[in-house]
Amino acid sequence: MQEQQIVSIVNQQREFFNSGVTRAYQYRVECLNKLKVVFKRYEQELNAALKQDLGKSEFEAFFAETGFCQHEITETLKKLKGWMKPKRTWTGLLSQPGTSRIYYSPLGVNLIIAPYNYPVNLSFSPLIAAIAAGNTVVLKTSEMTPACSTVIQKMLEENFDPRHIAYIPGEIPETTLLLQQKFDHIFFTGSPRVGSIVMAAAAKNLTPVTLELGGKSPCIVHHDANLDLAVKRICNGKFMNAGQTCIAPDYVLVHRDVKEAFLQNMAQRIRDCYGDDPEQSPDFGRIISANHFSRIAAMINLEKVVVGGQTNAETNFIAPTVLRDCQLDDKAMQEEIFGPVLPVLDYSDFDEVYQVVSKLPQHPLACYIYSSSDAVQQELIANIQFGGGCINNCIMHVGNSYLPFGGVGESGIGSYHGIHGFERFSHKKSILKSATWIDFPLMYAPYKDKIKFLRWILK
């Protein structure tokens, strides 16, 4: 796509936004209802595309992609009218007599850049929030998921006004051109490396950003954990989508007292889920590209393999793999894995846990704590900086739209889902409405003898 085409699309969206059409409650509802119908109509095409691009099973496609988005639309439609209402808040003594309210207004023209790992969910989930908040959107999907991108492009271009929702096909040059335009907000999901590029480009136009990034998310298994349940849930969270999940556990810290039992149970659980030959399993996906395959395969130290380790470069297959007795200088601990390789480290006290987490390069996006003790749970939550997570579960916090989803520090800026997504794509206008039936002279010059009263008010 040429630069002039992109400029024209952005300009048309700005004109459309300025017309005020997208701000109306009824228009937002109509668009969301239409999107829900469109999802039903294209669900099978999306399933086939997800299978083609990532090897996803129908269950995973519905659970984490199409079904997730349909549920998000349903919840948004139920609550949108309440979200849009101005919220009354407290008015301080200095501002009396008067009332204070927060009004929600759309940000304007938004750019959403989606990643390859959940190409449907991470395109449409922020799009749903942007529509609900009354914005226009330019959407760019990943060039690494061509089948999904084709279906998404068809869904949008056949059903929505491009002045409201525009799809931009293409690769890195198109993304670069988009980042040169003046948007009112950029929503990016991807790696911290690319996130820094997006943020630098946005800074040139003083464009606010939401960055949903990643990091090495720890999973901590204490000696008092329900080990069987921990293994089942960690296995599910780690190996879904062949490990290509930003909130997947990147490594496990397991207490030394239960390490051997944990490793044995994990090996058996992987066989129970994916069979003796996971390459033949209909429930296990594939790595997105040859480059990522090579990067992840190089992290497998065959001397430390407990289970798995098999690879097939022709099909980008890497078996669910567990590595034991890992150290911080192992390749698998040097960067976010984003694949089906699970390094396991051990600890005896929490100081060792904190030392490992702190020595890794960025705050984790997620953290998972397995323990039967409330004291242990609260100790770890209080002392590890991370975006969000679970106690005695794995990745499932992302499915609760009542919880804000996002990172902290290098793992992300801002959060969304449910009302948090609506607020992310809105500006909160602070309005004080003052009474006219009385007027106190305190704030007007001359100020002689007024400061004592002011000090009393502000004490």
Residues forming the active site: 212, 246
Phi, psi of 416 (to 5 degrees): -150, -165
- Residue 218: which residues within 8 A CB-CB, separation 6 or more? 249, 250, 251, 252, 253, 353, 356, 357, 364, 367, 368, 384
Of 332, 322, 333, the residue nearest 355 (C-alpha): 333
Based on C-alpha coordinates, what's the Rg of the chain? Answer: 25
Q: Cα 204 vs. chain centroid, distance in angstroms?
A: 25
- Residue 96: which residues within 8 A CB-CB, separation 6 or more? none
Rounded Cα distance, 246 and 366, in Å = 9
In terms of phi and psi (left: phi > 0; alpha: psi -120 to 50; beta: otherwise), the region of 99 is: beta
Return the structure tokens found at 343.
Answer: 């390094």
- Residue 384: which residues within 8 A CB-CB, separation 6 or more? 218, 353, 354, 357, 364, 367
β-strand pairing of 426-434 with 98-106: antiparallel
Of 139, 120, 128, 122, the residue nearest 56 (C-alpha): 120
In terms of phi and psi (left: phi > 0; alpha: psi -120 to 50; beta: otherwise), the region of 242 is: left
Return the structure tokens found at 416.
Answer: 């969304």
Report CA torsion sign: 244, 136, 89, 208.
positive
Rounded Cα distance, 119 and 141, in Å = 7
